[in-house]
Amino acid sequence: MVTNTGQGRDGVDGDSENRAVLVAAGEDRELGELARLAETLGLEVVGELEQARRDGVGYLGRGKRQELKGLVEETGAGLVVTDDELTASQARVLEGDAGAPVVDRTALIIRIFGEHARDAASRLEVELAELTYRLPRVKGGNRALSRLGGGGAGGGGARRGSGEQQLEYDRRVIRDRISSLRRRLQEEEANRTVRGSRLKKGGAPTVSLVGYTNAGKTTILNALSGETRSTADRLFETLETTTRLVSGVASRNGASGTSDGAAGPDFVVTDTVGFIRKLPTQLVHSFAATLEAARGADLLVVCADAGGGLVGLGEELGSVVSTLEESGISTEGSILCLNKVDLLDENEFAVLEREYPDAIKISAVRNVAPLAHAIRQKISGGFERAEILIPHDEYAKAARLYGSAEIHAEKSTEEGVWMDVTIPKQDIPKYDRFRVAV
C-alpha cells in the first residue's frame, strides 16, 4: 500500500532532509508507531508504503522499490525510514533504488535515545548502542546515524593506514571502546543497586511503574511524590530509572494519606524506561535497570495510555506483559493503571470500563488519588494493625513510625505515647514489648 500524505514537494516548507517516507514490510508492521518515532525526532512524515512480505535483498521487493522511488520523487522527501533494522547490504540496495538516504528503525531509536539522554549512565548506554550498531557497518561508516544529526559516539583517535588495514583498525578501536563502556556501565549498575538499597533500608514497600513508552509514568511519579521531572509528550522522554520516596503524611494531588484523612504508610516508587515493540537489541542494556526494578519490587503498577483507543491499548499492554514474562517477571497481583482517561468522551470511557473493569482509571495530571489508594491497599497485605504504648523516654521509636506506618490515632498519656497503627510486619518484633492488649 502506498500513501501520500498530501504534502508534496510544493506543499511543504523547510528542509527536504526533514521530510520522510516511512516503509514497513512483514506481518508485524506498524506505521503508526514508526510515525510517532519519526516525529519525536523532528521529522515530517510525507508518505507511507507497506508490503506484506520482507525481501531479503532490499527489504522491499523490486517492484515496491520502484514504487518507493516514485513516492520519494512525488513528495520531495529527503529520507526513507524503515520499520525494521536493515543489514548493510539491504540498506545499500534500498537506498540505491529509492534515490534517497535510508535510515532504519534501530538507528532512529538510538538517535532518539541520544537526544533524550540526561545523565551520565544514559549517555554511556547510548554510546554503547551506537557503537554496537556501527561495528558490523563500519565499512560504510556511520551514515545512518549521521543523517539524523550527530556524528555517532566513540571510535575516536587518530586514523591510520588504508584499505583493509584501516577497516581493521577502526573495528579494533570500536571494540576497545565497547569493552570500556561495558565496564563503566557495570560500575554504574553496582552504584545504582547501593542507592536503591539505601532507599529500601527503612522497610518501606517498593512499587515499580512499568509500561509502554509515553504512558504517563513520569507524570504519575510526579503526582505521587511531588517531584517535577520532565513530562514532555515524546517517546522515550524518560531514559533512566528514578526512585522516589512517597510520604504518607503530605498531600500531593490526592496521592498521600488515607480515605479518612489519616496518615498512610510510606512507599518507594520507581519510574522506569518505557517499553516498545521490536526493541533494538543494541538497547537491551538500557532496559536492564527497568527489569531489575520490576523484578525487585514488592508491587508492579502496569501503566498504559487509555487515550489512544482500545486497539492500541491492547497491543501495548500485550507487549509490556510479554516482555516482562519473557524476563521471568510475573504480573500476577499487579495493578493495571489506565492513564489519560481525561482524553476520552463519555461513551469511550464506558467502553473502557466494560473492557477493563478491574483497572484503576486516572488522569495523572488531575488526580492520582485512586491509584495511591489502590497501592496502599495492596501493600497493606504486608502490614499488621496494633495498639502500642511507647514510654516518653523512648519516643524516638514512636517517631520512626511516622515514616513507615499508617497512624490511625494517637495521644499522649502519663505513661507514654499511645498509638493505633498499621505497621510493616517486618517491624512487628521491634514493637512487640510496647503492644497493648485489646
Task: Report how far residue 43's alpha carbon sits from residue 38's, in angstroms, rounded to the nearest whole number.
Answer: 5
Task: Report how far residue 310's alpha carbon sits from residue 387's, in angstroms, rounded to the nearest whole number.
Answer: 47
- Domains along the sequence of the chain with CATH: 2-103 (3.40.50.11060), 119-190 (no CATH), 202-379 (3.40.50.300), 382-434 (3.30.70)
Spatial strand order of the sheet with 2-4 comes to 2-4, 44-51, 19-25, 79-82, 102-103
Q: Is 49 exposed, middle or buried (0-12, 13-18, 19+ CB in 10 A)?
A: buried
Note whether 413 and 391 are within 8 A (CB).
no
Helix axes 310-326, 346-355, angle to 10 degrees: 30
Residue-level pLDDT at 88:
92
Residues ≥6 apart with Cβ < 8 Å to 113: 122, 125, 126, 129, 236, 239, 283, 286
Write out the three cell numbers for 415. Answer: 505513661
- Backbone phi and psi for residue 412, each to the nearest 5 degrees, phi listed first: -90, 130
Residue-level pLDDT at 13:
41
Low-confidence residues of the chain: pLDDT under 70: 1-16, 140-164, 192-203, 228-240, 248-265, 285-286, 289, 381-382, 403-404, 438
Task: Report how far residue 277's alpha carbon sits from residue 293's, in angstroms, rounded to the nearest whole number.
Answer: 20
Note whether 343 and 352 are within 8 A (CB).
no
Residue-level pLDDT at 255:
53
Residues ≥6 apart with Cβ < 8 Å to 108: 37, 38, 41, 81, 148
Residue in 108, 34, 38, 99 with CA at minimum distance from that of residue 72: 99
Task: Report how far residue 273's alpha carbon sits from residue 117's, in angstroms, rounded to the nearest whole number.
Answer: 11
Note whether 77 and 46 are within 8 A (CB).
yes
Residue-level pLDDT at 14:
45
Q: Is 61 exposed, middle or buried (0-12, 13-18, 19+ CB in 10 A)?
A: middle
Residue-level pLDDT at 142:
52
